[in-house]
Structure 1
Amino acid sequence: MNRGRRVHAAITVVCALTVLASPVQAAYAAPTPPPSAPGAPAAPRKSLEEVRKEIETLYRQAASATDAYNLAEERATKQSAEIVRLAQAIVDGQARIEDLKKRAGAAARAQYRNGGIPDEAKLVLTDDPQLFLDGAGRLRQGQKATTDLLGELTRTQTDLETYTEDASKQWTLLEANRVKQADAKKDINAKITAAEKLESQLEAEERERLLKLEQQEQYDAQTAWLSSGALKEINRSASPQGRKAIEFASAQLGKPYVWGAEGPDSYDCSGLTSQAWSAAGRGIPRTSQEQWRLLPRIEIKDMRPGDLIIYHADASHVGMYIGDGAIIHAPRPGRNVTMAGAGSMVILGVVRPDK
């Protein structure tokens, strides 16, 4: 049995044992809500499954907000770099204009020293043919130099105005993305806090059963995906860069999920995949949504290890396919980087960083 088959078999066995060890869930419910006002009907208790779905929804919403935060941060970083570049261009342009003005002033002073008599007049006054021809040549050269000087001065001033206008636009965009970052951060913290609060109100035994429910759903989804014949045509080997990306991702197993993190001690889902491919020598977009939007898409049947599987309709999650129906991914807050079934979540599509 090759390594990939062992990985697939291990995941299947672990999932199966988890499911077999899980007793019936319906008897467990969420903590009793605060008492209602006197005379008001008591609020119905939520089942543990309902609590699980509510927690999952909150974490999904936090994942979407995390992608928005990461994208705003990435854009803000690029805009900051562009502002620095434009600022240097403005400084260089101002220095160039000062130099051109000095040269124009020197030409004007030279004419003044000649008594203010234009070169054209001097040519008319001479009766030496050779001197006239030499002077005419110098005049044309001087006129061209003056025209070039004035043209360059005009172009430099225009460029300077453009740089200044572009810098102003970049500042506006930078501030807008900083606002988006702040809003996304508030949203993320609110969703994660709400999910953690729900989970913390459960008894220890219920939290354990909550995890079993989560694993059960993943197992059912993976089983259905495999039963569909999804792996029948997937038998390709990883590219050299893909193998390096998998090696990096594998080395991160067990490290915690932290939103916005891209290593080395913790990761969010796209932080893991982007850093893995960066370690393989291929830079890719930072967020799962941008990875889905910008990287080449391939059919699931053509998938090979190292490819990225994008999940959910909003492309809010990503994992790295490692072969034989398995992925490595950073699941959510409260979980660590782990292996899972590639079909354990709703697949949106597959992208290939090194296509």
Structure 2
Amino acid sequence: MSSARKLLHALVLIGLGIGLTVPAAAAQAEPSPSELTEQINKASTELEKVVESYNKLNEQLKQTKAAATALSAKMGPLEAQLAKADTEVGQMASVAYRTGQVGTASALLNGSGPLADRLGMLDQLARDRKRQLEGFTEAERRFTEQKATLDATQAKQTAQLKELAAGKKKIEGDLDKLYKMREEAYGSATTSSGGYTGSIPSISGKAGVAVRFAYNAIGTPYVWAGESSSGYDCSGLTLAAWRAAGKSLPHNAAMQWDVVAHIGRGSLQAGDLVFYNGLGHVAIYVGSGKVIHAPQAGESVELASVDMMTPYGYGRVR
């Protein structure tokens, strides 16, 4: 083989080697820790939106159940009214069958006595019948109307329950993926900051109760849809803190925004709520430029700067 051909043969072999090994090496490239952290934060933000949507639907389901209970309570008396009116109409029909209303009317018209008196009796008989029939018709209308509303409310409740079940399944699937990412990046699916050991600021009134509760919750794990000492999500923590102070909040950041008094940054006081991510996240302000919040799945309740993210707005519990 000539020198030129040997050189060409060698170049072909090298080229084949490059073609076989370079793409394989590129395919095995692992994301850096910073890239994994970025992916985790993005996945956590998306998951929080899904969790808050779940929480909102759960709040709406509570309202639907309350409406159904109220409607059911109305149905009993309405059904009794309808039954009473039905009985009265039945009795009227029975009398008409036995005596014959035409015969009664004829007797009144053809009988003895002043005509004016007999006509008056006939008019009274007609009015009594009309009242009985109108009473039955109105009772039937009210019952039918409320029954239709109750049926629609119960159908809505059934649809909401199905939607909640689907939402729960999606959240659990997303959590599995997120925990695997965290384990790959940090060596553990969950981390904890531990309980708070510093001094808790002394704040008077109900706001002080809510703030003390939040400080004592530091280190509690993030649990989606959680609102108890076993775990909290963001709106579950603010709900629980203010519940301890005797105030009721819905379990959803956007719905909490709807029920608080909106204030400016300069008016912030301990106990106020701070909203983030287009009402997708909420924290409780504890003074000195700090908030306490339930960050994301895999982490625990923590103390952070009020500017940990760009605030959307500020609210005071009424």
TM-score by length of 2: 0.77
- 1:8-27 aligned at under 5 Å gives the runs none
Unaligned runs of 5+ in 2: 1-19, 192-201
- 1:180-329 aligned at under 5 Å gives the runs 180-202=163-185, 204=187, 240-313=205-278, 315-329=279-293
Identity %: 26
CA contact (8 A) 2:82 2:143 kept: no
| Pair 1:175 & 2:139 matched | no
| Pair 1:154 & 2:154 matched | no
Q: Report which stretch shifted further, 161-170 or 300-309.
A: 161-170
Q: Give how far 1:132 is off.
A: 3.2
| Pair 1:339 & 2:310 matched | no
Q: Give how far 1:142 is off.
A: 5.3
Partner of 2:55: 70
Partner of 1:348: 312
- 1:94-105 aligned at under 5 Å gives the runs 94-105=79-90
Partner of 1:221: none
Partner of 1:224: none
CA contact (8 A) 1:253 1:337 kept: yes
Of 99, 108, 113, which residue of structure 2 is paired with 1:122? Answer: 108
Q: Give how far 1:155 is off.
A: 2.0
Cα 1:150–1:325 change in 2 (3 A) is: same
Q: Report which stretch shifted further, 321-330 or 294-303.
A: 294-303
Q: Secondary structure at the match of 2:176?
A: helix
Unaligned runs of 5+ in 1: 1-36, 212-236
CA contact (8 A) 1:59 1:195 kept: yes
Partner of 2:91: 106
CA distance in 2, matches of 1:73, 1:52: 31
CA distance in 2, matches of 1:244, 1:307: 12
Q: Secondary structure at the match of 1:57?
A: helix
Cα 1:245–1:118 change in 2 (3 A) is: farther
| Pair 1:330 & 2:314 matched | no
Q: Give how far 1:325 is off.
A: 0.7
CA offset digits 1:282-337 (Å, max 9, x no partner):
22221012112443322111222211101113x22111111111112111222222
CA distance in 2, matches of 1:126, 1:196: 98
CA distance in 1, matches of 2:107, 2:44: 85
CA distance in 1, matches of 2:242, 2:62: 20
TM-score by length of 1: 0.70
Q: Give how far 1:47 is off.
A: 2.2
CA distance in 1, matches of 2:25, 2:154: 55
Cα 1:62–1:114 change in 2 (3 A) is: same
Letter in 2 for 1:335: E
Select the structure that is richer in helix.
2
CA distance in 2, matches of 1:106, 1:239: 69
Q: Secondary structure at the match of 2:298?
A: coil
Q: Work out which structure has the larger RCO, using CA pairs closer than 8 Å and 6 or more positions apart in sequence.
A: 1
Q: Report which stretch shifted further, 141-150 or 59-68.
A: 141-150
- 1:7-46 aligned at under 5 Å gives the runs 39-43=23-27, 44-46=29-31
CA distance in 1, matches of 2:283, 2:110: 84
CA contact (8 A) 1:238 1:304 kept: no
Partner of 1:4: none
Cα 1:239–1:147 change in 2 (3 A) is: farther
Cα 1:272–1:144 change in 2 (3 A) is: farther
Q: Secondary structure at the match of 1:254?
A: coil
Q: Secondary structure at the match of 1:155?
A: helix
Q: Report which stretch shifted further, 79-88 or 283-292.
A: 79-88
Letter in 2 for 1:186: K
CA distance in 2, matches of 1:248, 1:299: 24
Letter in 1 for 2:270: P
Cα 1:253–1:119 change in 2 (3 A) is: farther
Partner of 2:10: none
CA distance in 2, matches of 1:263, 1:140: 70
CA contact (8 A) 1:111 1:118 kept: no
Q: Give how far 1:143 is off.
A: 4.5
Q: How many residues align?
A: 287
Letter in 1 for 2:275: I
Q: Give how far 1:247 is off.
A: 3.0
Q: Secondary structure at the match of 2:297?
A: coil
CA offset digits 1:204-243 (Å, max 9, x no partner):
4xx79x98xxxxxxxxxxxxxxxxxxxxxxxxx9773322
CA distance in 2, matches of 1:304, 1:49: 36
Q: Give how far 1:103 is off.
A: 1.4
